[in-house]
Amino acid sequence: MYAILDIETTGGKYNEEGITEIAIYKFDGQKVVDQFISLVNPEQDIQPFVVNLTGINNEMLRNAPKFYEVAKRIVEITSDCILVAHNAKFDYRILRTEFRRLGFEFERKSLCTVELSKKLIPDLPSYSLGKLVRSLGIPLSDRHRAAGDAQATIKLFKMLLAKDVEKDILKQHVRKEPKRNIDTKLVFILEELPSETGIYYFHDENSEIIYVGKSRNIRKRVNQHFTNDNPKSQEMQRKVASVSYELTGNELIALLKENQEIKELKPRYNRALKRDIFSHALYQFTDENGYVNLKIGRANKTKKNITTFSSLRSGNNSLQKWVTEYELCERLAGLHGGNGNCFAYTIKSCHGACIEEESPEVYNDRVLGLIDKHSYDNQNMLLIGRGREVDEKSALLIEDGEFKGIGYFNLNHQINNLDIIRSIITPMNDNRDAQHIIQSFLRKKHNFKIIQLSIQE
């Protein structure tokens, strides 16, 4: 658990400041599960510049609880949590100072979103909370008030968790989790998992990731691992000490993240992806009469393809559907051999390219329409899909035919600035498997909105 924290103070001399407002959100890595927000009577005057900055004045705090009256609640909500704050050294120091005045030693592990941002989102002009979240497209209301700043920090932290490809934050979190007995641990683990779409990580007793999987229902899939009696599953059941997860909002991002995580982390119980996850591809060539021909063949790394398929059968089925949709010639699409007209011509769905009755220019125009739709070569586009929460959308960026990565943005923020789009995107590898996953997913019925981008450097 994390405790996302923001504190407003009176200002003044170092270690003599008093707390005027505090907001703490208990966050499980996916959602807020508890919160505490309160004005605090600091029993001293607020510096005038702080009044102008926050809008909190002495009169507002006259009847507010004093720190000792809220101290127990702060201890409870932060218990077994890692404190997370923007400039965490300041907030943690202020809290420890207030507790020392009460004779209590307050100690928690902490994470600073300023330091994490500098590491995971380098080269930004400013890392102050206001400028940082604005550059990332994160909405911020009630600036310099504890609740508003803490809520913006939550959204920033979620983005940082997604950008942490080496999973350092996640591993530190897992090390804090209490260890359970072997006979009860699987039951406890299942109780804490959601029935939502995402990826999940099996950790051993040293917090190392030993398996990565994806599912549209994480709890159901992990339960299958825990109840399967094959030798590999039984060995994992003995080794797993905890399970963490990351919601993705939709299956496409889950597929892409699983593919990348397995390649990057190389977990012990995942089969190494030595071979591509596709075997066949669609190719094009122009014959001696000027007609663009299509052909399904074995995938070849040295040959440029239009799109890829997991099997020959899958490729032929897709091509047959496209031939009908675009009224193409079966023989020029490699689905009908021999000479003369193809079968489609006899039922009038082919316009006679096979017997040169239709001109190459007219025929090729329809073939190129098919190619443009099913290949994102040289394309610049944004795929907008379902996010992890109701008020969120996911974004998948392709620039100049290259898959750049994925990100999330709030619904009340208009994504129309390419710099903001790039800043919210967590970079991912543009390998052949990632291209196959995206292309094969988009061939199916999906709910993604495709926005063509105009790239101007």
Give the span between the Cα atoms of 45 and 380, in whole angstroms: 56
Q: Which residues pair with 24 in a beta bridge?
A: 5, 36
Q: What is the pLDDT of residue 67?
A: 93
Measured in Å, how far apart are the chain's first and last C-alpha atoms?
42
Which residue has 């004093």 as its token pair? 66
Alpha carbon 239 to its chain's center? 27
| Cβ pair 434, 260 in contact under 8 A | yes
Give the span between the Cα atoms of 121 and 378, in whole angstroms: 27
Residues 6+ positions from 96 with CB-CB distance below 8 Å: 105, 106, 107
Residue 262: both structure tokens together: 């397995």
Number of residues in the chain = 457
DSSP assignment of 356-378 equals T-S-HHHHHHHHHHHHHHH--TT
Q: Which amino acid is at 269?
A: Y
Residue 201: both structure tokens together: 């990580």
Q: What is the pLDDT of residue 178?
A: 46
Between CA 336 and CA 343, with CA 342 as vertex, the angle to 5 degrees is: 95
Q: What is the pLDDT of residue 177?
A: 52
Flag residues of the chain having pLDDT under 50: 178-183, 274, 457
Q: What is the pLDDT of residue 276?
A: 67
Residues 6+ positions from 420 with CB-CB distance below 8 Å: 135, 136, 137
- State pLDDT tens for residues 384-417: 999 998 888 999 999 888 899 999 888 766 666 7
| Cβ pair 422, 394 in contact under 8 A | no
Phi, psi of 150 (to 5 degrees): -65, -40
| Cβ pair 277, 310 in contact under 8 A | yes
| Cβ pair 379, 452 in contact under 8 A | yes
Pairing status of strand 2-9 against strand 82-85: parallel
Q: Which helix (H) or strand (E) holds 7?
A: strand 2-9
Phi, psi of 83 (to 5 degrees): -70, 135
Q: Is 30 exposed, middle or buried (0-12, 13-18, 19+ CB in 10 A)?
A: middle
Residue 188: both structure tokens together: 């406890």
Long-range contacts of 221-224 (CB under 8 A, 24+ apart): 222/189, 222/190, 222/193, 223/190
Q: Is 44 exposed, middle or buried (0-12, 13-18, 19+ CB in 10 A)?
A: middle
- State pLDDT tens for residues 124-172: 888 999 888 888 888 788 788 999 999 999 999 998 888 887 777 766 6
Q: What is the pLDDT of residue 329?
A: 92
DSSP-based three-state secondary structure for 222:
helix
DSSP assignment of 71-125 equals HHHHHHHHTT-EEEETTHHHHHHHHHHHHHHTT------EEEHHHHHHHHSTT-S
Which residue has 């079966």 as its token pair? 330
Q: Which helix (H) or strand (E) holds 285?
A: strand 280-286
User: Where does 329-405 have alpha helices with state H?
Assistant: 343-346, 360-374
Closest to 203 (Cα-Cα) out of 163, 167, 251: 167
